[in-house]
Structure 1
Amino acid sequence: MPQDIAKVALVTGAARGIGLATTKRFLAEGWQVALLDIDGATLALAMAELDAPDTTLALTCDVAEAAAVEAAFKALMQRFGRLDALVNNAGTAVFKPILETTLAEWQRVLAVNLTGPFLCTQVAAPLMADTGGGAIVNITSISGLRASTLRVAYGTSKAALAHLTKQQAAELASLGIRVNAVAPGPVDTAMAKAVHSPEIRADYHDVIPLNRYGREDELAEAIFFLCCEKASYITGQILAVDGGFDAVGIGLTTLRGERRNR
């Protein structure tokens, strides 16, 4: 690709948190970025913060609505003319016991977290193929790799998204498209700060080898890496960016205590 043609990324759920941090990472490398989010008001605030009208595009869209997704990608192509990377970050959660989760809540979580990436990828892949390929990163979760309470819809949707990632990687490779996933562990996002009590945060610290929450920019680095040429031979992988949370079982807290007492 000629050096004067900037690459283009579309990031869903881009108005805040990991999505906004990822957008900033792309922009720092000279990419043009379409920010897609269902929350138009917060998206407008993000656009004002970025203050980069020549290299950004705001798209208000519900990723669970097929017609809206198609319209958003059409607007992207009219503005930028190409697509090189898609980050399926938009997500929602319901934190309720399994017997209290309603059918409507279950359906909405799966519609956003699983159907959304399916729809966005269906539209994005032909656009990427037209210019020789690209990269897709789905944002799953550590909750899709290990079970916990209050996450029946969320965890199940993210586990299914991890498998969808592998399906997409297998089938889209012939088009020059790599597909991977990033599975965040506990991250200091606004949502985590709102729903994680001090006791929950202490519990997480006890079982994370690095003994802290992740930062949004750390997730953005991993996502950007998987979208760039340095990851050119990586596809079909689920990368846990979790401080080691998924790597350990019981006993970490006790081991730390023994070390402190030596």
Structure 2
Amino acid sequence: MEKEKWALVTGASGGIGSAISLKLAEAGYHLYLHYWRGEVEIQKLAEACREYGAAAVPIKADLEIVEEIGGLISSLSRKPDVLINNAGITHYGLFTETPIIDLERLYRVNVRAPFLLAQGCAPYMIRQQYGRIINISSIWGVTGASCEVLYSMTKGALLSFTKALAKELAPSQVTVNAVVPGAIEGKLLRNQFNDEELKLIASEIPMGRLGEPEEIASLVAYLLQPDAKYITGQVISPNGGWYT
């Protein structure tokens, strides 16, 4: 009998997180669905995942708080084979006017939380000589963005973390990769830009459109397949040819 596969998806109530969770449920994974404020969205997502026959366990935790991250890890009745570090927060504004409180918030959620979650899940993966860690970064972590200096900095740190951790865990047959989306349709973009601004962004992308969350989820699902077991330490950017 094939062993059950479990995955932990952070920020599962968001657009990309939901798409990843549904794709993994369809692929036969049972799911720990982390969220912070999206109570209604997470319950709907859990029900949708269960329609695929997956166990779906919502877990609420504030990733800004070390103790809550520890509580999240401790609450997992069975440690996950797969960790998707998807949760993140953004910041838009002039570098010279960025308050230290925002610097601390983005560091805690975008950098420290993925580190601690991986640290909490990796021992199980090492013991079983199998595991997958995927960090969801951003195109700005590669190229940088004006007026998103803080966000770019933290997402860039996530890429360095990915490459270093991949080397350390490779002897244990645990892969670590980063998926780096370009401009993806959803609340994150629409909270920052109006329709006209989004049309302008889309016009700059060679494919002429924004990406869809499901397209990110498909790449994540591929990286979990046996065919991808030799892929590790990579930064893969689905962005429609925007940046190459």
TM-score w.r.t. the length of structure 2 is: 0.93
Does structure 1 retain, via aligned residues, the 8 Å contact 2:49–2:55?
A: no
d(CA) in 2 for partners of 1:217 and 1:116? 24
Does structure 1 retain, via aligned residues, the 8 Å contact 2:25–2:54?
A: no
The one-letter code matched in structure 2 to 1:28 is E
Aligned counterpart in structure 2 of residue 243 of structure 1, from 237, 240, 243: 240
Worse overlay, 36-45 or 55-64: 36-45
2:61 matched residue in structure 1: 61
| Deviations 1:72-110, CA, capped at 9 Å, x for gaps | 12222x1xx242110000000111111111000011011
The one-letter code matched in structure 2 to 1:21 is A
Aligned counterpart in structure 2 of residue 207 of structure 1, from 204, 209, 224: 204
d(CA) in 1 for partners of 2:19 and 2:193? 21
Name the SS for the 1:44 alignment partner.
helix
- How many residues are treated as equivalent by the alignment? 242
Shift of residue 168, structure 1, vs aligned partner: 0.7
Instruction: Please list every run of 5 or more consecutive structure 2 residues that lacks an aligned counterpart in the other structure.
Output: none
In the alignment, does 2:46 pair up with 1:43? no
d(CA) in 2 for partners of 1:190 and 1:51? 24
1:250 matched residue in structure 2: none
d(CA) in 2 for partners of 1:195 and 1:161? 22
Does structure 2 retain, via aligned residues, the 8 Å contact 1:35–1:59?
A: yes
| Deviations 1:139-194, CA, capped at 9 Å, x for gaps | 01001111222211111000111111001101111222100000000000122123
Residues 228 and 64 of structure 1: CA distance in aligned 2, closer, same or farther (over 3 Å): farther
1:25 matched residue in structure 2: 23
In the alignment, does 2:83 pair up with 1:86? yes
Name the SS for the 1:195 alignment partner.
coil
In the alignment, does 2:141 pair up with 1:144? yes
d(CA) in 1 for partners of 2:162 and 2:57? 26
Name the SS for the 2:152 alignment partner.
helix
d(CA) in 1 for partners of 2:29 and 2:46? 15
Does structure 2 retain, via aligned residues, the 8 Å contact 1:225–1:231?
A: yes
| Runs (4+) off by over 3 Å | 48-54
Worse overlay, 177-186 or 142-151: 142-151
Shift of residue 225, structure 1, vs aligned partner: 1.1
Residues 101 and 61 of structure 1: CA distance in aligned 2, closer, same or farther (over 3 Å): same
Name the SS for the 1:30 alignment partner.
coil
The one-letter code matched in structure 2 to 1:223 is V
2:32 matched residue in structure 1: 34
d(CA) in 2 for partners of 1:175 and 1:102? 41
Name the SS for the 1:184 alignment partner.
coil
How is 1:180-259 mapped onto 2 (pairs within 5 angstroms)? 180-247=177-244
Name the SS for the 1:241 alignment partner.
coil
d(CA) in 2 for partners of 1:188 and 1:40? 18
In the alignment, does 2:175 pair up with 1:174? no
| Deviations 1:93-139, CA, capped at 9 Å, x for gaps | 11111111100001101110111110110001002123222110000
Residues 82 and 106 of structure 1: CA distance in aligned 2, closer, same or farther (over 3 Å): closer
1:70 matched residue in structure 2: 70
Shift of residue 206, structure 1, vs aligned partner: 2.5
Rg larger in 1 or in 2? Answer: 1
